[in-house]
Chains A and B, each alone.
Chain A
């Protein structure tokens, strides 16, 4: 997660989450927000669950920001071998 989200959640590095099958981006974010409710609204809209425009999701070095959040995540993410990355867009010069 970006620095500011880690600060909000009061975590220092990667976050490991237990997520039920089928593991999708939506389910991972649900689990993340359930553990750290202060992040609700900071990654996606409270009610529409739409991704905030300046945030992107990367899965195994691929941009998943525009894929359906219901797409099952690959084994490398499920096993913890690769991280699901929430990345702040570079903006502002």
Chain B
């Protein structure tokens, strides 16, 4: 019988939640990396026992952890004793250095409109390769994309993105100027999508060497030019592997859809009670069924009227229905962050999301009913699920 393994990153460590295919009785292990912020953890689709973790701290900086046995043991790759070619000990796993030779370090726009130097802060998102368990991408703050080909021992920037030339117009969102979304196209290994708050979405068609902004159709009222090519606060992008050209986006405000790999976007917020939010995902087997967790507003990061709701559209947007059975419908004032929603691959497609109140919810029936797996974790930053044989 199939199993699922849920990887939850929180403000104070990582947790692993496992269950069989019924997704009813759960085993919870953790905290791993206790006391550290775990922004994201994700398993390799090639080797599910290979899990990469972004462990970070304002005091001690960035650590990358890795498990090769499904989360039973962990190590910081490259963090052990090694010798450099010169014979000196070295450690490389946590070294994220912008490639200033290939793309000179510029400045970006600060909150007050002045220019501010580019500085590495943390890894927001790890995206393992679809074809090679040793290869993984990292989206970082200040915004850039890095790549490791050796299982996270060493990291190299893909400098074409930061060197795109529009960097001085990029600006931080409330959470910082982060590259938070990386989507790999299963049909085209050269095609990568990324999103930055607040610069917008970009696409590479050559494996990350060069990038183009894909923000046509986005409108942002906070921008002097609402239709600007750069500067939109994209919160998350989701894609069905069954229909890679179709993208769904939760923007700061507005839920958007593209049918041409991001070249053009149109709004599909439809009857949503509010189209602000962070998380969005697509059903594993129905590429026109999508899920969002509406949040009241950019000033009030909690559900409308204290009612926690996931909204589902079976029509690829515009027509939405509230999925609330089993979710608190009074006095609930949590947030659902951008990387905190995911779907499993089982036939009836489980949907998962975590909250800043420390709950992780599971719907084993595509959103119809919900149950909390855990209620009292630290604030949940990210949720990923692995479907295992």
Contact = CB atoms under 8 A, between A and B. Distances in A.
Interface of A: 2-5, 8, 33-35, 37-43, 46-47, 52, 54-55, 88-89, 91
B35 A42 contact: no
B59 A2 contact: yes
A62 to B, nearest CB: 21
Nearest to B88: A34
B95 A37 contact: no
Interface residues of B, number: 23
Interface in B228-259: none
Q: Which 5 A-B pairs have the closest CB atoms?
A: A37-B91, A38-B79, A34-B89, A42-B60, A54-B59
A46 B60 contact: no
Interface in B28-71: 35-36, 57-63
B82 interface: yes
A3 B94 CA distance: 19
Contacts of B57: 4
Given A4-B35, A34-B89, A42 B82 contact: no
Given A4-B35, A46-B97, A47-B97, A38 B59 contact: no
B82 A37 contact: yes
B73 interface: no
A89 B80 CA distance: 27
B90 interface: yes
Contacts of A38: 63, 76, 79-80, 91, 93-94
Contact of A37 (B35, B58, B79): B79
A3 B34 CA distance: 11
Contacts of A2: 59-60
B299 interface: no
B221 interface: no
A41 B61 contact: yes
Interface in B76-112: 76, 78-82, 88-91, 93-95, 97
Max count, chain A CB within 10 A of own CB: residue among B35, B61, B88: B61
Given A37-B81, A88-B59, A91-B58, 14 more contacts: A37-B82, A37-B89, A38-B63, A38-B93, A38-B94, A40-B79, A41-B91, A41-B94, A42-B61, A42-B63, A43-B60, A46-B95, A54-B58, A89-B59
Contact of A52 (B61, B76, B82, B94): B61
Interface in B300-343: none
B62 A41 contact: yes
A31 to B, nearest CB: 10
